[in-house]
Structure 1
């Protein structure tokens, strides 16, 4: 079974649905995209480019390219459930297991980098991969150059603040993040990213690694300014569980406050949270209100106390957010709807 093509030879993505731009990286963004593709085909993913570990880190260092891993995961998440889509999803995610230099490289990473080298353009290369996959949406890098994350971390056992550099080091630092920044401080942002934000009806942040996947979008000046000035409405999806080392000291409300700390001009319209994962709903509601948002409580996890988002449940919650259905679903009898 092959993807249906339009008159220009590109896979049909459809025109129905809300224009949505989703921001993040890794498994968190993947969860959002798997949900959003159920409710709109007018979908763009803007992906972090700070990964410095594993296959992405090796390619970034050896070839001086954007780290492709999070971009690959976003593209794989946008594949449909046809034989074509599922096969290419698995091909993109396939990792080699050898005793040689290809060990642990994801095939999708190599495919993306090959197209970048052939075309000399990251955006065009990603569009070509999306065309091959029949992706239900577009994937763009948040910046045109690789980013590096640096954080000041307070050790758990006490003592002086330590500085860690690199996404992997920050994410696994043995302490609590006190401050974070990116380098370069003002990286260039692709024109296509700014255009899609300006034309969006909704922008969605989260879930994901809060300091290394979600927050960096608001630390890039051009992205921050575009997100603050867009006429689109704004949604934030909270994590289901704490992330060891990065956010295990943060409550659900603290996650929202962190965004306010680094981007006080960034307003929200809705914060989506699973009530079974929130210890203090009143505190979270207050934190959301400080950013102009209402709290939408829905069960969006897979099973009880799961750390994974259910794509269909999350899609239903996002649909309600987009439709403005908030008040009724925040009563306990509707949390499981």
Structure 2
């Protein structure tokens, strides 16, 4: 029996959450991860060591590890000295390990990621969308242009589009995986800064559009993000993907679970709200809507439930099992 090939595209904690659940299902996993992060530890290492930003890659590797619990603690450990002035302050152990592997791999980031994946005994493959760092730009509703992924959500204006100001080289293995995929998943995660940066890479978008056999699935965010997706409905999230180079998305997974009032109050204070499932508009876009109770209510906020979200993806992948 050949298991379905699932390619998951994104970054941040959203993609890691999906993969944490998906590794428990009989599928072949390839995660394709953004390299546009320029903030925090990732940004510092990128500038100091000319390494593509390792943070999102680290999160995904930990999520796919078969020995996740201890390695999540170790690789997620973040240095912080008593007086806050040490050179290691703010760096995570996982980012430093990837930087070391990058150096001893003669600057081959893809090889460094592969080596750490072997150490962590991950299920599947993790690939950067590009072997090189990319600088993300955004155009805001007020016409202002912003340079740098970490700066985009800091402006009190809606994002209209994101773009690169020069061509970004695609990782060939990522392109090959997309061409061979049975299911291609976008998200979940920050729309403009985790999902779309991958789709802006020309060869990646071309491979997605050329694979007409694969199911293309968008996992919609549960809540809006202030400074990024303010007021955007599910159909608006989907339209942004279509407007950034993807010709067609066949399915969208949306949360169908009510968010408790105390969580709503917390998000309201952050100028965020549940994403509205505007089913009539989604129908007009020709997308199949999969309604699922996928909200995970945690102390830190509303997240996608790893197993339930992965189960929704697996139910789609089953039709491709051979």
Same fold? TM cut 0.5: yes
Equivalent positions of 1:206-245 (< 5 A) are: 206-230=187-211, 231-245=213-227
Give the counterpart of 1:62 among 43, 48, 60: 48
Equivalent positions of 1:183-332 (< 5 A) are: 183-184=165-166, 186-230=167-211, 231-263=213-245, 265=247, 267-276=248-257, 277-286=274-283, 288-289=285-286, 293-303=287-297, 307-323=302-318
Helix, strand or coil at the partner of 2:56: helix
Moved over 6 A (4+): none
Give the conservation status (yes or no) of the 8 Å contact 1:17–1:39: no
Equivalent positions of 1:78-157 (< 5 A) are: 78-80=64-66, 84-98=67-81, 99-120=85-106, 121-154=108-141
Alignment of 1:173 with 2:168, yes or no, is no
For residues 167 and 279 of structure 1, the distance between their equivalents in structure 2, rounded to whole angstroms, comes to 26
Shifted more, 35-44 versus 166-175: the winner is 35-44
TM-score, scaled to structure 1: 0.83
Residues paired across the two proteins, number: 297
Give the structure, 1 or 2, with the largest relative contact order (CA under 8 Å, sep 6 or more).
2
Give the gaps of 5 or more residues in structure 2.
258-273
Residue 100 of structure 1: how far off its partner (Å): 0.5
Residue 232 of structure 1: how far off its partner (Å): 2.1
Helix, strand or coil at the partner of 1:67: coil
Residue 283 of structure 1: how far off its partner (Å): 3.1
For residues 249 and 236 of structure 1, the distance between their equivalents in structure 2, rounded to whole angstroms, comes to 18
Give the root-mean-square deviation of aligned CA atoms: 2.0
Residue 264 of structure 1: how far off its partner (Å): 5.1
Give the gaps of 5 or more residues in structure 1.
1-14, 155-159, 325-337
For residues 17 and 90 of structure 1, the distance between their equivalents in structure 2, rounded to whole angstroms, comes to 31
For residues 85 and 208 of structure 1, the distance between their equivalents in structure 2, rounded to whole angstroms, comes to 21
Residue 32 of structure 1: how far off its partner (Å): 1.5
Helix, strand or coil at the partner of 2:295: coil
